[in-house]
Amino acid sequence: EDKVVQSPLSLVVHEGDTVTLNCSYEVTNFRSLLWYKQEKKAPTFLFMLTSSGIEKKSGRLSSILDKKELSSILNITATQTGDSAIYLCASNSGGGADGLTFGKGTHLIIQP
């Protein structure tokens, strides 16, 4: 059974800090790893990673995949209170027809 583990499960930091969220996976037929941000409603897509060592970046957020270590990290620099959310990591082990296997998420709280 595919498995995705995230750490830490929760994290409280101050505005302006940099945070690193971790995700490790054990999946058969790995295709891609995805990061989502979930605030009050639906998860919203952040990044999809398929190639090892290539960083994806969007503003203050960046993510990288390490296929050798079966892991990924999500970095957020200069955090803001609006970054407070649950960050979900998910693996896709097939084509688009397969469901995603999610980790339990990291609950990130940014204090002013």
Partner 1 sequence: DTAVSQTPKYLVTQMGNDKSIKCEQNLGHDTMYWYKQDSKKFLKIMFSYNNKELIINETVPNRFSPKSPDKAHLNLHINSLELGDSAVYFCASSTRTGPLGEQFFGPGTRLTVL
Determine the size of the site formed for partner 1 (CB under 8 A): 27
In three state form, how does the secondary structure of 61-92 look? EEEEEECCCCEEEEEECCCCHHHCEEEEEEEE
Q: Which two tokens stand for residue 45?
A: 């897509």
When asked if residue 88 is in the footprint of partner 1 (CB under 8 A), the reply is yes
Q: Which two tokens stand for residue 101?
A: 């296997």
Nearer to partner 1, 62 or 101 (CB): 101
| Binding residues for partner 1 restricted to 16-75, rule: CB under 8 A | 31-32, 34, 36, 38, 41-45, 48, 50
Contact indicator for 110, 84 with CB cutoff of 8 Å = yes
Q: Provide the binding-site residues for partner 1, judged by CB under 8 A.
A: 31-32, 34, 36, 38, 41-45, 48, 50, 86, 88, 90, 92, 95-102, 104-105, 107
